[in-house]
Amino acid sequence: MAGSSFLFGLEEQVDSFALLIAVLLISSGYFYLGTRSSRTVRAAGARLHSLPHYYGLFAGLVAALPALSLLAILAIGDDIVFNKLALGFIPADVKAGENYKEVIVLAQIYNVVNGINFGEQPDWVYAAAEAWHGWEDTSRLLKNVTVLALSLLGGMFAYRMVNPAFRSRNAVERIVMTILAASSAIAILTTIGIVFSVIFESMRFFALVPVSEFLFGTTWNPQFEGAERAGSGQMGLATYGSVPLFVGTFLISVVALSVSVPVGLFSAIYLSEYATPRVRSLVKPLMELLAGVPTVVYGFFAALTVAPFIRSTGMSLGLDVASESALAAGLVMGIMIIPFVSSLSDDVINAVPQALRDAAYGLGSTQSETVRQVVLPAALPGIVAAILLAVSRAVGETMIVVMAAGLAANLSLNPLDAVTTVTSQIVTILVGDQEFESAKTLSAFALALTLIVITLGLNFMALQIVKKYREQYE
Amino acid sequence: MSDTGKQMMSPAMAAERVAAGLAARRGREKRFRIYGRIAIGIALAFLVTLFVSIFSKGIPGFFQHYVTIEVALDRAKLDPAGDLSVQSLYDGDARGVIRTALYEAAGASGRSGRKAAGKIISQGAEQRLRNAILDDPSILGTTRAMTFAVDDDVDSFLRGFIKRETPEKDRRINDKMIGYIDVLNDKGLISFRFSDYLVFGSASRNAEMAGIYGALVGSILTLAVCLVLSFPLGVATAVYLEEFAPKNRVTEIIEININNLAAVPSVVFGILGLAVFIGTFGMPRSIPLIGGVVLALMTLPTIIISSRAAIRAVPPSIRDAALGVGASRMQTMLHHVVPLAMPGMLTGTIIGMAQALGETAPLLMIGMVAFIVDVPGSVTDPGTVLPVQIFMWADFAERMFILKTSAAIMVLLAFLILMNAAAIVIRKKLERRW
Amino acid sequence: MEMQVMNAPSKQDLEVSHVPAETVGNIFTDHPRMTARNVNVYYGDKQAIDNVTLDIAEKQVIAFIGPSGCGKSTFLRCLNRMNDTIDICRIEGEIALDGYNIYAPDVDVVPLRARVGMVFQKPNPFPKSIYDNVAYGPRIHGLASSRDELDDIVESSLERAGLWAEVRDRLQQPGTGLSGGQQQRLCIARAIAVSPEVILMDEPCSALDPIATARIEELIDELSSQFTIVIVTHSMQQAARVSQRTAYFHLGKLVEVGNTEQVFTNPEHEMTQNYITGRFG
pLDDT in tens, A206-225: 988 888 889 888 888 886 45
- In 3D space, the residue among A76, A102, A104 whose CA is nearest the CA of residue A88 turns out to be A102
**One domain, residues B80 and B46:** no
Q: Average of pLDDT values for B397-405?
A: 90
pLDDT at C10: 42
For chain B, how many residues are written? 434
pLDDT at A338: 95
Whole-number Cα distances in Å, B395 to B1, B31, B45, B360: 81, 45, 27, 15
- In 3D space, the residue among A237, A239, A250 whose CA is nearest the CA of residue A216 turns out to be A239
Nearest to B8 among C3, C140, C160 (CB): C160
Cα separation, C182 vs C178, whole angstroms:
6
pLDDT at A71: 86
pLDDT at A42: 81
pLDDT tier at B306 (50, 70, 90 boundaries)? very high
Residue B204: inside a domain = no
Q: Average of pLDDT values for A174-187?
A: 89
pLDDT at B3: 46
pLDDT at A435: 64
**Alpha-carbon A136 to chain mean position:** 33
Cα separation, A18 vs A12, whole angstroms:
10
Sheet of strand B190-194, all strands in order from the earlier edge strand to the far edge? B143-149, B63-72, B190-194
pLDDT tier at A79 (50, 70, 90 boundaries)? confident
- In 3D space, the residue among A421, A250, A268 whose CA is nearest the CA of residue A338 turns out to be A268
Nearest to B263 among A8, A269, A456 (CB): A456
Cα separation, C117 vs C189, whole angstroms:
11
Q: Average of pLDDT values for B309-326?
A: 88
Of B61, B76, B101, the residue at which a domain comes to its end is: B61
Q: Average of pLDDT values for A341-360?
A: 91
pLDDT at B65: 93
Total domains in the fold of chain C: 1
pLDDT at A227: 40
Domain span holding position B49: 8-61
Q: Residue C171 pLDDT > 80, yes or no? A: yes
pLDDT at A233: 44
Q: Average of pLDDT values for A421-440?
A: 81
pLDDT at C21: 55
pLDDT at C240: 92
Q: Average of pLDDT values for B277-281?
A: 79
Residue C258: give its domain's CATH number: 3.40.50.300
Residue C236: inside a domain = yes
Model confidence, pTM? 0.85
Q: Average of pLDDT values for C123-147?
A: 93
pLDDT digits (tens, 9 = 90+) for C5-51: 334 444 444 444 445 557 888 888 888 999 999 999 999 889 999 99
Report the chain C residue with the minimal C-alpha distance to residue A469.
C127
**One domain, residues B237 and B315:** yes
Q: Average of pLDDT values for C155-183?
A: 92
pLDDT digits (tens, 9 = 90+) for B38-60: 999 999 999 999 999 999 999 99
Q: Which of A223-232, B244-253, B266-275 has the highest mean pLDDT?
A: B266-275
Residue B208: inside a domain = no
Cα separation, A358 vs A355, whole angstroms:
5
Q: Residue A90 pLDDT > 90, yes or no? A: no
Residue B205: inside a domain = no
- Of residues B49 and B429, more confidence is placed in B49
**Alpha-carbon A214 to chain mean position:** 24
**One domain, residues B170 and B66:** yes
- Pairing outcome for strands C61-65 and C46-57: unpaired
Residue C141: inside a domain = no
- Residue A369, chain B, CB below 8 Å: the answer is yes
- Residue B244, chain A, CB below 8 Å: the answer is yes
Q: Residue A7 pLDDT > 80, yes or no? A: no
Q: What is the 3-state secondary structure (H, E, C) of chain A?
A: CCCCCCCCCHHHHHHHHHHHHHHHHHHHHHHHHHHHHHHHHHHCCCCCCCCHHHHHHHHHHHHHHHHHHHHHHHHHHHHHHHHHHHHCCCCHHHHHCCCCCHHHHHHHHHHHHCCCCCCCCCHHHHHHHHHHHHHHHHHHHHHHHHHHHHHHHHHHHHHHCCCCCCCHHHHHHHHHHHHHHHHHHHHHHHHHHHHHHHHHHHHHHHHHCCHHHHHHCCCEECCCCCCCCCCCCCCCCCEECCHHHHHHHHHHHHHHHHHHHHHHHHHHHHHHHHCCHHHHHHHHHHHHHHHHCCHHHHHHHHHHHHHHHHHHHHHHCCCCCCCCCHHHHHHHHHHHHHHHHHHHHHHHHHHCCHHHHHHHHHCCCCHHHHHHHHHHHHHHHHHHHHHHHHHHHHHHCCHHHHHHCCCCCCCCCCCCCCCCCHHHHHHHHHCCCCCCCCHHHHHHHHHHHHHHHHHHHHHHHHHHHHHHHHHHHC
**One domain, residues B93 and B175:** yes
Q: Residue C54 pLDDT > 50, yes or no? A: yes
**One domain, residues B119 and B251:** no
Which of C3, C194, C218, C225 to probe the B interface (max B CBs under 10 A)? C194
- Residue B271, chain A, CB below 8 Å: the answer is yes
- In 3D space, the residue among B372, B363, B367 whose CA is nearest the CA of residue B212 turns out to be B372
Residue C14: inside a domain = no
Total domains in the fold of chain B: 3
3-state secondary structure of C62: strand
Residue B330: give its domain's CATH number: 1.10.3720.10
The verdict on a CB contact (< 8 Å) between C124 and A358 is yes
Which of A109, A184, A346, A373 to probe the B interface (max B CBs under 10 A)? A184
The verdict on a CB contact (< 8 Å) between A290 and B369 is no
pLDDT tier at A2 (50, 70, 90 boundaries)? very low
pLDDT at A271: 93
Nearest to A359 among C126, C140, C194 (CB): C126
Chains in contact with A, counting 3 or more C-beta pairs less than 8 Å apart as contact? B, C
Q: Average of pLDDT values for B375-395?
A: 86
Residue C48: inside a domain = yes
pLDDT at A82: 79
Count of CB atoms situated within 10 Å of the CB of B175: 10
3-state secondary structure of C232: strand
Cα separation, B366 vs B143, whole angstroms:
49
| Segment C275-279 long-range contacts (CB within 8 Å, at least 24 positions apart) | C275/C65, C275/C66, C275/C67, C275/C236, C275/C248, C275/C250, C276/C236
Average pLDDT across chain A, whole number: 84
Count of CB atoms situated within 10 Å of the CB of B323: 15
Average pLDDT across chain B, whole number: 88
Residue C95: inside a domain = yes
**One domain, residues B43 and B163:** no
Q: Residue B432 pLDDT > 70, yes or no? A: no
Whole-number Cα distances in Å, A133 to A75, A118, B282: 16, 19, 18
pLDDT at A406: 78
Whole-number Cα distances in Å, C242 to A52, C61, C107, C162, C203: 74, 7, 32, 17, 13
Domains of chain A and CATH, by start? 10-166 (no CATH), 239-473 (1.10.3720.10)
**One domain, residues B55 and B68:** no
Nearest to A361 among C85, C122, C141 (CB): C85
Q: List CB contacts (< 8 A) between A289 and chain B.
A: 47
| Contacts of residue C114, Cβ cutoff 8 Å, sequence gap at least 6 | A363, A364, B14, B15, B18, C137, C141, C194, C196
> pLDDT exceeding 90 applies to what percent of chain B?
41
Nearest to A363 among C85, C128, C190 (CB): C190
**One domain, residues B403 and B358:** yes
Shortest CA gap B173–chain A (Å): 24
| Contact in structure between C146 and C42 (CB atoms under 8 Å) | no
Residue C158: inside a domain = no
3-state secondary structure of C66: coil
**One domain, residues B228 and B371:** yes
Which of A183, A204, A345 to probe the B interface (max B CBs under 10 A)? A183
Give the ipTM: 0.91
> pLDDT exceeding 90 applies to what percent of chain A?
34
The verdict on a CB contact (< 8 Å) between A373 and C113 is no
Q: List CB contacts (< 8 A) between C128 and chain A.
A: 377
The verdict on a CB contact (< 8 Å) between A297 and B409 is yes
Beta bridge partners of C257: C25, C247
C45: alpha, beta or left? (left if phi > 0; alpha if psi -120 to 50): alpha
Q: List CB contacts (< 8 A) between B23 and chain C.
A: none
Residue C65: inside a domain = yes
**One domain, residues B236 and B298:** yes
pLDDT digits (tens, 9 = 90+) for C219-277: 999 999 989 999 999 888 899 999 999 999 988 899 999 999 999 998 888 888 888 88
pLDDT at A68: 87
Give, in degrees to the nearest 5, the angle at Cα C247 between C244 and C251: 165
pLDDT at A269: 95
- Of residues B207 and C231, more confidence is placed in C231
Cα separation, A180 vs A198, whole angstroms:
28
Of B132, B161, B194, the residue at which a domain comes to its end is: B194
| Upper half-sphere CA count for residue B386 (Cβ side, 13 Å) | 32
The verdict on a CB contact (< 8 Å) between A187 and B271 is no
pLDDT at A265: 95
- Of residues B364 and A230, more confidence is placed in B364
The verdict on a CB contact (< 8 Å) between A177 and B330 is yes
- Residue A233, chain C, CB below 8 Å: the answer is no
- Of residues B57 and A2, more confidence is placed in B57
**One domain, residues B284 and B152:** no
- Of residues C200 and A436, more confidence is placed in C200
| Segment B162-168 long-range contacts (CB within 8 Å, at least 24 positions apart) | none
Domain span holding position C64: 20-125+199-276
- Residue C85, chain A, CB below 8 Å: the answer is yes
Q: Residue C2 pLDDT > 50, yes or no? A: no
**One domain, residues B20 and B67:** no
Report the chain B residue with the minimal C-alpha distance to residue C220.
B1
Residue B181: inside a domain = yes
Torsion angle, CA of A374/A377/A383/A384, rounded to 10 degrees? 180
Residue B17: inside a domain = yes
Cα separation, A7 vs B290, whole angstroms:
13
pLDDT at B433: 58
Residue C136: inside a domain = no
Q: Average of pLDDT values for A396-421?
A: 88
pLDDT tier at A135 (50, 70, 90 boundaries)? confident
pLDDT at A84: 78
- Of residues B283 and A133, more confidence is placed in A133
Sheet of strand C46-57, all strands in order from the earlier edge strand to the far edge? C46-57, C32-43, C89-97, C100-101
Nearest to A436 among B47, B257, B279 (CB): B279
